[in-house]
Amino acid sequence: MKLTDSKKDQFRRLARDQGYRSRSAFKLKQINQSYRILNKGDCIVDIGCAPGGWMQIALHEVGTKGKVIGVDIKKIEPLSNTFNIQGNIEDEHVTDNILKISNSCVDVVLSDLSPNVSGNWELDHARQIDLTRNALRLSNIVLKKRGKAVFKVFQGDMLNELVVELKKKFKKVILTKPNASRQVSSEIYLICLDYNPI
């Protein structure tokens, strides 16, 4: 067995033992431990939420006074005390629903969006960056001033340009790779702080 597979297995086992729907849950958990993105009472929008691992972490962190809104093309098993919107993030009804449910006050946008991967690194990178741009467009509509965002991206040629775009909207943009993310994976997470819409 390869080392990378053993790390994947380790987090898969942990997720099963601790009742998380995905091993990705540990990535958000580690990001939150380092950067305190999620706080009690926050309203969180989780884009690309299926099967719901990140939503479970978010729900725990925001507590009963907070709100968690998950969006995905795929249907998810209902998760108590959360809202779910099934749809493509490019669709207007998705944005409208988020605004309605959140009362136009979103504290944090989370995006773990992934395209269907083809195995062609450059193609997958381009598709993923395109998805992230859509997530940023959506954030520009729903996120409150001084809000935060976390965007998963696939590394490659187009990343620098995206970071430049993000820096026009957020005062601070930090690139990080949590321990739960395999080293061989091209994914990296952009922690975006202090949203400034102008």
Ligand X SMILES: C[S@@+](CC[C@H](N)C(=O)[O-])C[C@H]1O[C@@H](n2cnc3c(N)ncnc32)[C@H](O)[C@@H]1O
Cβ 5 to ligand X shortest distance, Å = 18
Cβ 20 to ligand X shortest distance, Å = 8
Which residues are at the interface with ligand X (CB under 6 A)?
21-22, 24-25, 48-54, 71-74, 88-89, 112-114, 131
Q: Which is nearer to ligand X, 88 or 104 (CB)?
A: 88
Q: Are 79 and 65 in contact (CB under 8 A)?
A: no
Sign of CA dihedral 93, 94, 98, 104: negative
Cβ 122 to ligand X shortest distance, Å = 18
Q: Which is nearer to ligand X, 25 or 173 (CB)?
A: 25
The reply to whether 67 belongs to the active site is no
Cβ 57 to ligand X shortest distance, Å = 8
Q: Which is nearer to ligand X, 94 or 158 (CB)?
A: 94
| Distance (Å, whole) CA 54 – CA 75 | 15
Cα radius of gyration rounded to whole Å, the chain: 16
| Distance (Å, whole) CA 100 – CA 48 | 19
Q: Which of 7, 148, 152, 169 is flagged as catalytic?
A: 152
The 8 Å CB, 24+ separation contacts for 177-181 are 178/26, 178/27, 178/30, 178/31, 178/34, 179/30, 180/11, 180/23, 180/24, 180/26, 180/27, 180/29, 180/30, 181/27
| Distance (Å, whole) CA 171 – CA 65 | 28
Sign of CA dihedral 52, 129, 166, 181: positive
Q: Which is nearer to ligand X, 49 or 166 (CB)?
A: 49
Active site residues: 152
